[in-house]
Amino acid sequence: MSHRLAGAACIGLPCRFGDQAGRCKRLESALPQVRIAALLFVLLLSVPVDGSRGDTKTVIALSRDAFGAALLDYLEGEQVPDLVLEVQGGQPGPAMHPEWFFRDFERWEWWDRELLPLIERGPVLDLGAGAGRASLYLQERGLRVAAVDASPGAVEVCRRRGVADVRLGDVNAPPADLPWAGVLLLCGNLGLGGSWQGSRRLLARLAELVTPGAVLVGDSVTPDGAPEVALRIRYRNLVTAWWRQYNIPAAQMAALVDGTGWKIDRHLEDGEDHAVLLRRT
């Protein structure tokens, strides 16, 4: 199983939780401005398996925030047990450990280390920021960055780690308040449109929100089977809702991007993993 599939997505799902009731209370006190929204909405992250629209603005309910819970556990130095990634109709397997999302630049995948330095101007929109690794890297280079994640726990982790602009939100409803010069869809988040058309819609929407010449860095994995899968994560006594992930075959990347307002500037491949630098046409 690819680490991209095993990780699912930085945006808010590859993870776990512990002490559900206690952690929810701490999250509520730490995030008063989003508490009500987080409790009212259900998990999305892409296209829910129930078939509802992918552009619905939704975030993860605290009671299902396995990803954010695991990130918080790791940040606070607690023991983090293994996570389980379940594939609808398939066999469960291991999900990525939270440690991966806290790595510094020198320990990133080589394609991230090659492509992210090419982002030279902001503001940058980091969709599915996870623990904020890419946001912090760009922020330290002097760029303005907005980190967006559907996980209340991930949002709290980003804040604690020093990301200046962190927002609770859905990747499929990107914010339009700034003229974005860069966009990140890392850790497989390029496929969080949930389907071929959903991924194209997301790219087209982002093209409407960016400045001329803006760049987008994203990655995906060439799947062994069908590109569209339904996934969920188990961590301790928490389980996410099912969500749809679209793993983009490398050979289909050009066709996926065509007509969305972007062109491929760089396309790097490493076995089943591949990453792109797109430029606004």
- Determine the pLDDT at residue 239: 86
How far is it, in rounded angstroms, from Cα 132 to Cα 167? 11
Cis preceding-peptide flag for 123 (omega within 30 of 0): yes
Express each pLDDT in 222-233 by its tens digit: 999 999 999 998
Given pLDDT bands bounded at 50, 70 and 90, which one contains residue 205?
A: very high
Residues 66, 240 contacting (CB under 8 angstroms): yes
Express each pLDDT in 126-185 by its tens digit: 999 999 999 999 999 999 999 999 999 999 999 999 999 999 999 999 999 999 999 999
- Determine the pLDDT at residue 30: 41
Longest Cα pair distance anywhere in the chain, in angstroms? Answer: 49
Closest to 62 (Cα-Cα) out of 165, 156, 203: 156
Is the whole model's pTM more than 0.95, yes or no? Answer: no
Given pLDDT bands bounded at 50, 70 and 90, which one contains residue 33?
A: very low
Mean pLDDT estimate for the chain: 83
- Determine the pLDDT at residue 131: 97
Residues 119, 142 contacting (CB under 8 angstroms): no
Q: How would you label 52-68 residue by residue, b for 16+ Cβ within 10 Å and e otherwise?
A: eebbeebbbbbbbbbbb
Domains recognised in the chain with CATH numbers: 3-280 (3.40.50.150)
Express each pLDDT in 180-199 by its tens digit: 999 999 999 999 999 999 99
How far is it, in rounded angstroms, from Cα 2 to Cα 198? 22
